[in-house]
Amino acid sequence: MQVRATEISEQKTFEGKAFPLVLTPDNQPSLEDFLNWLAKNKGQVREQLLEHGAILFRDFPIESPEAFAQVVDAGEFEPMPYLGGAAPRDGVVGKKVLTSNNSPSSEPIPFHHEMAQVPNPPSYIFFYCDLPAEEGGATPIVLSQQVYNRFHAIDADFAEKLEDVGVKYVRVMPSEDDPSSAIGRSWRSTFLTDNRAEAEEKMQALGTIWEWLDGDNLRTTTAVIPAIRTDARNGQKTFFNSVVAAYTGWVDERNDPTQAVRCGDDSPVDEEAVLATAAAMKEDCVSFKWKKGDVLFIDNALVMHSRQPFDGPRRILASIARS
């Protein structure tokens, strides 16, 4: 099977590199052909992810969630559980393939690195388009190095402070999953247990401070987490955090987004800098229309993603990996 780089109209170029890299087959391969190609070229795929940040595989025969799970397996990515994430999700293929986010279609999801609010986020995230929305529903992506550069240009002092002191995240989790909220994942689902004591053990291991509230809700404050990271593979500084996502999007009947994130020294974040950075993300992002069968590989250390509101049914599935 031959695979070639192609172009889509939404693509952008940063420092001479296509973002995202778009790969298509030269002919009409079978699923087995594609899986064999991935297994043979898994090292090259990782190198391309490091170079471009994201790869969109288009027009390959990926026709089901099960086939998507096989794609992840063929690349020999190490799966990891969705432990500590905020989004309500359902399992589709075991614990490996999940719904991307069960929050209402009317709600946008701001740019973020997957699980940037936990100490050990995934290295990779994969998306599969099982059913594109009738209108909207894109998964815009943006290079985190570019976001960092814009952030530093907006407010160098605040950028350097955030790099120095890190950030903390505050979230109130419900007792049961709340699909009306983009951050409605319950503490039971978050910590994969129905037992309070076991949840407390996991929070203690993460350095999280907690408080049980009325209605079996749980308020958590994370340990200090780095907000600016330097990728050891390429030396790039990245805006690796959930500051914009939390400050602009962590809102529901339990949570005030302006209180959802603060600097590691407990001082408030700079609202003007955060909102200006959010605007810069929209300027620099790539937002392409999903096509049935599309598979998007993202290097989670280098690229942030988001979700646009949409009309009609939509089914985008996700999987995450440690390495």
User: What are the residue boundaries of the structural domains of the chain, listed by start?
Assistant: 3-143+286-321, 144-281
Give the C-alpha separation, 45 to 63, whole Å: 21
Q: Are 67 and 35 in contact (CB under 8 A)?
A: no
pLDDT tens for 70-104 read 999 999 998 877 655 555 556 667 667 887 766 67
pLDDT tens for 51-79 read 999 999 999 999 999 999 999 999 999 88
The alpha carbon torsion through 316, 116, 93, 66 (nearest 10 deg) reads 60
pLDDT confidence tier of residue 249, bands split at 50, 70 and 90: confident
pLDDT tens for 276-311 read 999 999 999 999 999 999 999 999 999 999 999 999
Give the orientation angle of helix 156-165 with respect to helix 144-154, to 10 degrees.
120
Encoded tokens for 124 = 């990779």
Average pLDDT over residues 144-171: 96
CATH, range 3-143+286-321 = 3.60.130.10
Query: pTM of this prediction?
Result: 0.88
**pLDDT of the residue at 85:** 52
Same fold, 3-143+286-321 and 144-281: yes
- Nearest CA to 10 out of 20, 24, 2 is that of 20
Give the C-alpha separation, 24 to 244, whole Å: 34
pLDDT tens for 174-214 read 999 998 887 888 999 889 899 999 999 999 998 999 999 99
Give the C-alpha separation, 274 to 158, whole Å: 10
**pLDDT of the residue at 160:** 97
Percent of the chain predicted with pLDDT > 70 = 94
| CATH architecture label of 144-281 | 4-Layer Sandwich (3.60)
**pLDDT of the residue at 83:** 58
